[in-house]
Homo-oligomer: A and B are copies of this chain.
Amino acid sequence: MNDFIKSIKERDPAAKSTLSIVLTYPGVKAVFLHQIANFFHVAGFDLIARIISQTSRFFTGIEIHPGAKIGKNLFIDHGMGVVIGETSEIGNDVTIYHAVTLGGISPSIDSESQRHEKRHPTIGNNVVIGSGAQIIGPVKVGDGSRIASNAVVVKDVEENTTMVGVPAKAVKSRNKGNFTPYGVDQQVKDE
């Protein structure tokens, strides 16, 4: 837990104190409640799991399906409007801003056949996903990659790559400096 709080301080310049993070960060509550929802989901209590998930959505504005698999130190900043689908998988030390979707393909006819398929993204370690970005379908986003604000990703993304635009295109390899959730120009300027 201490590691998690420390990692948030490193990622949010506005984070003032541990007490403030525990009490007032919706993303911290949402990840905690997801662990409980996921416990009931794995145990087969689908309805209880979903009620916990929707209660969390009501209090935090963040909707994580109880079936989603989430790694260590996921930080959802601001978080309002985030939707993480049932078969999503998220690695360690990932940062997700508000209004991000890890979404599925919209079925037009045959929803039943997709009920047990992988329909949502797999996110690697140390990925940053900017506000409003939409990642749709069973695509993979490689370790260390960054998805810009309002970008729409519908294909696999390689490691350490910044994706920008609608539809999203790779800009260039990540540098070690700061990152604007949109941030092409900064990226290019720094290198």
Interface residues of A (CB under 8 A from B): 9-17, 19-20, 23-24, 26, 46-47, 50-51, 53-54, 57-59, 61, 63, 65, 67, 78, 80-81, 83, 85-86, 95, 97-99, 101, 103-112, 114-115, 117, 119, 128, 130-132, 134, 136-137, 146, 148-152, 154-155, 164-167, 176-186
Interface of A is mostly: loop
Interface centre among A50, A80, A106, A107 (most CB of B within 10 A): A106
CB distance from A86 to the nearest CB of B (A): 5
Question: Chain B residues with Cβ under 8 A from A148's Cβ?
Answer: 152
In the complex, A120→B80 CA distance in Å?
Answer: 19
Q: Which of B81, B108, B164, B166 contacts A99 (CB 8 A)?
A: B81
Nearest Cβ on chain B to A106's Cβ, whole angstroms: 5
Which residues from B are CB-within-8-Å of A95?
A: 106
Asked if residues B106 and A178 are in contact (CB atoms below 8 Å), the reply is yes
